[in-house]
A and B are shown apart, each in its own frame.
Chain A
Amino acid sequence: MNKRLTLGCVFLLSSSAFPVWADNDAAQDRPTMPMKNMDHNAMPGMNHGDKQSANEKPGAMQGRAQGGSAPANARDPHAYSGGYSIESGKYALPGPRILKLADEYNFASLLVDRLEMVRTSDNSSITYDLQGWYGRDYDRLVIKAEGNVDNGKIEEASTELLWSHALTTYWDGQLGLRYDSGEDPGRTWVAFGVQGLAPYWFELDITGYVGEEGRTALGLEAEYEILFTQKLILTPRIEASVYGKDDVKRGTGSGLSEFSAGLRLRYEIRREFAPYAGIEWASTYGGTADYARAAGLDTRETRAVAGLRFWF
């Protein structure tokens, strides 16, 4: 998904505590909440003097401008059909329906969010992070792939194939498989998660994983876009991974395993094509850090990145 935000100030966050990803609804209650100064006599459909039951009456304030669930007496959108369908019946054209609009067509997109050179104090490598989809508005096949290429070899890669289903206005539920490959032994996981847009335009992707031998994991990615201009965009990004148990062969320990935070500044030459440069701080923790130290690796590193963001 390509998201752009209308507002650029991370510190706004601090002034509005909200449950970050879980909230599709709570933060939107405000638009229709304030009732204090309202002239109830003038309200169309307002149920005067019976505030308790207001929510049950049609036309009463339903309290939310977004999300929520339909009240029991919500209107049936097919109530006016008189039993007719768009497929057949009186005055319908013979044969199968030929009028199909874009809601019945499949679209496809591939976003290479990061294709970057990564330089640390002692190494340089290539990282990729892409997401593609194929399908319709509310159901899509999604592929997510992320990995590192070092010295021409895939050092570490994670690829997911998911069915993505729109759950709410801004959130998709996703279910599928993840396969980890690279230099270490491969791992297969069942993946389930949510991806979407939180209030204040935070893009979130949170996925739980269940693997063989009782392995479990959790991945979190969050991105935000700050528009300096219509084309110059700063993206703070964090990524974290958590594992349920040690996996010696892949060098991951239980608990918080890795956390990285980055800033990337891109310039959209076209919407679809943007070079960027940035910096990222990454750390390993717990057992993963122990494995890293044992292998003679740093547990913290600062990375200079430069790359391309592009999509079709």
Chain B
Amino acid sequence: MRRTPSNTRVIPDLSRRRFLQGLAAGGVLAGLSPWVKPAWAGEVATTATGMAPVLSGTEFDLVVAETAVNYTGSPRMATTINGSIPSPILRWREGDTVTIRVTNRLNTSTSIHWHGIILPYQMDGVPGISFAGIAPGETFTYRFKVDQAGTYWYHSHSGFQEQTGMYGTIIVEPRGGEHIRADRDYVVQLSDWTDEDPMKVYAKLKKQSDYYNFNAPTAMDFFRDASERGLGKAMERRRMWNQMRMSPTDLADISAHTYTYLMNGTTPAGNWTGLFNPGERVRLRFISSGTQSFFDVRIPGLKMTVVHVDGQDIEPVTVDELRCGPGETYDVLVTPQDDAYTIFAQSMDRTGYARGTLATRADLTAPIPKLDEPEWLTMTDMMGAMAQGGVMGGMGGMNHSGHSMSGSMNKNATPVRHAKTEYGPSVDMRVDMPRTNLDDPGIGLRNNGRRVLTYADIKTPGEPVDPREPGRDIELHLTGNMERYTWSLDGLEFGKSTPIHFRHGERLRVILHNDTMMTHPMHLHGMWSDMEDADGEFLARRHTISVQPAQRVSFRVTADALGRWAWHCHLLYHMDAGMFREVIVT
């Protein structure tokens, strides 16, 4: 793998190490609150430590309240559901009608959105679109029929409550019983925690958008580069970034400088552990609940067979590593033989990690891998197919990555049409020649010597449920201005936008075109997103689709869900900046 030699990671100092590792005994203080039903019931996690309680059945009572937590040594108030982080695991059965009474004991409005669940729009839980939200002291009753099975999750859709602790797992058992055979079944929910008030984090980004980036290229890097490659190459490598005033190391906006990464609500030092007997088949349900963090997950020594993505069974594919974008879920099967393995989930910007252990006994651990070196974004991430086409071959030191360059410019590509609102202050980059290949695992994972899952690997068996050809295309560009820290679609933040109208019953194609240098996990509420490849062939049914920098992807939607729905980037700070649209189906 070609590394960026000038880009050395700062060795964490002691305070940083504390952030990274967190408290061993971190988490919710003073035990669970009295609303929690007897935990550790159910089949899930009977032998794991630090799991959320499991609630099953058709009637649920959830209470949203403030709860004291301590992840770093400083007590903080979190917003929790039934007093735990993560929130309780809800076990439903396909075909059941579930009733969920959510009581708000906060002094501010709250909500719960059932991520990936198909339901009437009034039950979708987005304040201002689905309903008015749940006022303090009020109880809102959600009731809907569950017509799907698999791994999903739920979270608050109000303010920054998802960041402060409101997220949990939903497992829907198939009507005919579980068909993915496993001896053990663990939820592995990944998230990020900050001791800061998320609103202050957001305000800091508005004032200095690289506030949390401590991997910026320095003068020292430049001199090292110049002595290794020559002055001309060192300058050329930086020229485009400097002309465009963009940072090649802006990978996450928010880093381990403030984040402690959690696995099942447990810090790396706390070491969430799932037990197994050697030779058993273990199902791990990875749920990516990081509000602003992509996690790159691997279990050194174990191959992971990915069998289920976004609540849909997929054709099994065996990999060493996978990237979980916020909102996505990945179920894998592993068959551990040794005594202990580390589940290692490093953040995309390589500043920290969530960590847990699979072991035969609770006191065993395995070595924790080093964080990978952070990489500079490449010309491919800035310019898409233009960089891949060899045009920029003269760019010294450019990492022309991506697993394959061929197929990146397919014959069926539709013309790029930027919105006229993309030429103003809200947009810092437009990609005229996007890349459309899906076999690129993305920045930091390319050519790393491991078999990394890509979107091209994720295939739902068979044909799409709705075989109709799309009747029309809707093109939406993902846009932003990193310097101003504004995020938008087509250059328009939510407040300036109009809804996107789907005609009831129509089958349409959505084209998402990323005019930024960040990866955006786009989540359409209420309807499935049937992902296509660059040739328009059906790949997989998804609820969240991550679009890489300078990439253009498409998916098909059947507009069968009357009402108004949210559609947004699932990076919480991008969504809150206005990278959000309302969809109306009439």
Interface string of B279-299 (1 = CB under 8 A from A): 000000000000000000000
Nearest Cβ in chain A — how far from B18, in angstroms? 16
Contact, CB under 8 Å: B128 / A99: yes
- Whose C-beta in chain B lies nearest to the C-beta of A47? B415
Closest A residue to B215 by beta carbon equals: A230
List the 6 shortest-distance A-B pairs measured between CB atoms, nearest first: A59-B415, A99-B128, A82-B501, A8-B219, A44-B413, A45-B415
- Smallest CB-CB separation from B204: which chain A residue? A271
Chain B interface (Cβ < 8 Å from any Cβ of A): 10, 121, 126-129, 131-133, 202-204, 206-208, 210-211, 214-220, 222, 235, 238-245, 247-249, 382-383, 385-386, 389-393, 409-410, 413-434, 436, 474-475, 481, 483-484, 486, 488, 490-501, 503, 562-564, 575-578, 580, 582, 584, 586
- The stretch of A31-39, A112-120, A250-258, A296-304 in contact with B is A31-39
Shortest C-beta distance, B113 to chain A (Å), equals: 13
A43 to B127, CA, bound (A): 43
Interface band, chain A = 35 or more
Instruction: Check A167 against B214 for contact (C-beta < 8 Å).
Output: no
Residue with the greatest number of chain A CB neighbours at <10 A, chosen from B385, B436, B481, B499: B499
The residue on A at minimum CB distance from B128 is A99
Chain A interface mostly helix, strand, loop or mixed? loop
A109→B220 CA distance, assembly (Å):
31
| CB-CB contacts below 8 Å: A26-76 with B | 27-28, 30-32, 34-39, 42-45, 57-62, 64-70, 73-76
Does A281 reach chain B (CB closer than 8 Å)? no
Contact in complex: B243, A6 (CB < 8 Å):
no
Contacting pair B433 A43 (CB below 8 A): yes
**Residues from chain A with Cβ under 8 Å of B422 in the complex:** 70, 74
Among residues 124 to 157 in chain A, which have CB atoms less than 8 Å away from a CB atom of chain B? Answer: 137-138
Q: How far is the CB of B226 from chain A (nearest CB, A)?
A: 9
| Cβ of B385 to closest chain A Cβ, rounded Å | 7
- Interface contact B217-A6, CB-CB below 8 Å: yes
Instruction: Check B132 against A31 for contact (C-beta < 8 Å).
Output: no
- Interface pair B392/A227, CB less than 8 Å apart: no
CA of A99 to CA of B582 in the docked complex: distance in angstroms? 10
Least Cβ–Cβ distance between A20 and chain B, in angstroms: 13
Report how far A151 CA is from B215 CA in the complex, Å: 43
Are A2 and B207 in contact (CB-based, < 8 A)?
yes
Neighbouring A residues of B580 by C-beta, 8 Å: 101
Also in contact, A81 and B500, with CB within 8 A (given A57-B415, A86-B494): yes
A125 to B423, CA, bound (A): 46
Contact A104 B495, beta carbon cutoff 8 Å: yes
CB B133 to nearest CB in A, in angstroms, measures 7
Residues in A with CB closer than 8 Å to B423 are: 67-70, 74
Chain A proximity of B250: nearest CB distance (Å): 9
Question: Which of the residues B128, B208, B490 comes within 8 Å of A77, measured between beta carbons?
Answer: B490
Closest to A167 in B: B425
In the bound complex, CA of A83 to CA of B500 (Å): 9
- Bound form: Cα–Cα A75–B422 in Å: 9
